[in-house]
Amino acid sequence: MSIVTRFAPSPTGRLHVGNIRTALHNWMLAQKHGGRFLLRIDDTDQERSEERYVEAIRTDLAWLGLSYDGEERQSDRLAHYQAAFETLQAAGRIYPCYESSQELDIKRKIQLGRGMPPIYDRAALSLTEDERAAKEAEGIAPHWRFKLDHEEMITWEDGIRGDQKFDPAQLSDPVIMRADGSWLYMLPSAVDDIEMGVTDILRGEDHVSNTAVQIQMFTALHAAPPRFAHEALLVGREGKLSKRLGSLGCDAMRENGIEPEAIIAMLARLGTSQPVEPVLDRKVLIESFDLSTFGRAPAKFDDDDLQRVNTAIVHQMPYDAVSERLPEGMDAKGWEAVRPNLGTVSDVAEWWTLVTGPINQPPFDADTKLFLAQAAEALTWGDEPWGTLTQALKEQTGRKGKALFLPLRQALTGLDHGPDMKAMLPLIGEATARERLQAAANS
């Protein structure tokens, strides 16, 4: 059986590191096994869903390179959910409830005050037909719950958590339809997974109890449940997923110069026993993807670590991957010369001015000016002009180390640090190099 995974975001905001990680792991699982990865837009919440976020989700996935093999929108599938609703209703697995949200909240508080779990008491099941009719005559529209079967334990072999067992009597019958007729997550998600042929669902551990409920929904709809795996949630340095971290989305990361490959490398192994490394080749990450390496402890995300991974990724990126983002006139040799000094690709423009100019030379003392005048005279061009120049000056002046190299760097680039001068001097060129040395000597 071919593997089919899915990513099912709600278009109520931008993708952030938590759901990017979910999308990535489902994509990697499908890629590793030659399966299919589907995008499902969970937009049944009409009040909060926005079309701009649907477009943003597609844009972000494309930027990350997470291509999908099909897309569905829940807002286009309402008739499918209604049909499933009617099937379950005919089977006695759905029932109407008339409590207000305030009444349910009071019930929960009373249960908690008595040290009891806040489980729905199924009071609506004891209503007679006349009592239901009376409530509806008062204008009270019902919400609808799925009736869990309390006779059998709910069990499954979780791909990360191992054997799972839930007593359905310790779970509330979930609300599947609001009083206004709008759908909640549970039933539409199960219906879609059945009809889209989803075989594997990899999601956060906050969905474990949802899985227990949905397994009964699959069974009630005469479908075999998919395989489930629940990964530990992301936390920040402070021990929880902070608002700052939770809002760290693709748009913010793009603006900060983070490469998609750095995000992929960071999130691919975060929370596993495998080391997080700046792996540029996705095939390596896909081949090493293994649910058995996922741990149960919260996965710590640190954006400083992401910056470090990003820097290491940039230092590996070939010219062809960045050529369209480089300053005019910068060729492969220029990129390779500057690349080791970059934190982000956008930093390249600043370093490229060392070649194109203008530069700001520091003030030099008299002895240094004399030395730089000698350098202008000694400058000759060949395969390795920097090595030829420094060797000649070393022999002529007796200078070595910092006293030899630093004034030359400062005169030629205006800085006392930067890319390797062996690579930079040929880019600056003979005429410009001599002009800068002479200008420094005469300053």
Burial of 38 (0-12, 13-18, 19+ CB in 10 A): buried
- Model confidence at 179: pLDDT above 80: yes
Which pLDDT does position 40 carry in this prediction? 98
Q: Is 402 annotated as a binding residue?
A: no
Q: Where are the domains of the chain?
A: 4-71+186-233, 79-177, 243-314, 319-355, 357-441
Which pLDDT does position 239 carry in this prediction? 61
C-alpha torsion sign, points 426, 325, 244, 29: negative
Which pLDDT does position 242 carry in this prediction? 46
- Model confidence at 182: pLDDT above 60: yes
Q: What percent of the chain has pLDDT over 70?
A: 98
Burial 203-225 (b: 16+ CB within 10 A, else e): bebebeebbbbbbbbbebbeeeb
Using CA atoms, how far apart are residues 165 and 160, in angstroms rounded to an integer?
14
Q: What does residue 96 show for φ and ψ, rounded to 5 degrees?
A: -85, 145
Q: Of 295, 314, 285, nearest to 277 (Cα)?
A: 285
**Which amino acid type is present at position 401?**
G
User: What is the average pLDDT across 214-219?
Assistant: 98
Angle, vertex CA 224, rays to CA 223 and CA 227, nearest 5: 140
Q: Of 84, 87, 6, nearest to 39 (Cα)?
A: 6
Q: Which CATH architecture has domain 243-314?
A: Orthogonal Bundle (1.10)
Pairing of β 94-97 and β 143-146 = antiparallel
Span 241-281, pLDDT tens digits: 544 444 578 888 999 999 999 999 999 999 999 999 999 99
79-177: CATH number: 3.90.800.10
Confidence of residue 57 (pLDDT cuts 50, 70, 90): very high
Span 82-139, pLDDT tens digits: 999 999 999 999 999 999 999 999 999 999 999 988 999 999 999 999 999 999 999 9
Which pLDDT does position 8 carry in this prediction? 97
Span 410-438, pLDDT tens digits: 999 999 999 999 999 999 999 999 999 99
Span 383-412, pLDDT tens digits: 999 999 999 999 999 999 999 999 999 999
CATH topology of domain 357-441: Arc Repressor Mutant, subunit A (1.10.10)
- Model confidence at 1: pLDDT above 80: no
Instruction: Name residues whose C-beta falls within 8 Å of residue 29's C-beta, 6 or more positions apart in sequence.
Output: 3, 5, 35, 200, 202, 289, 291
Instruction: State whether residue 287 is helix, strand or coil.
Output: helix
Which pLDDT does position 247 carry in this prediction? 53
CATH topology of domain 4-71+186-233: Rossmann fold (3.40.50)
User: What is the average pLDDT across 63-85?
Assistant: 97
- Model confidence at 173: pLDDT above 90: yes
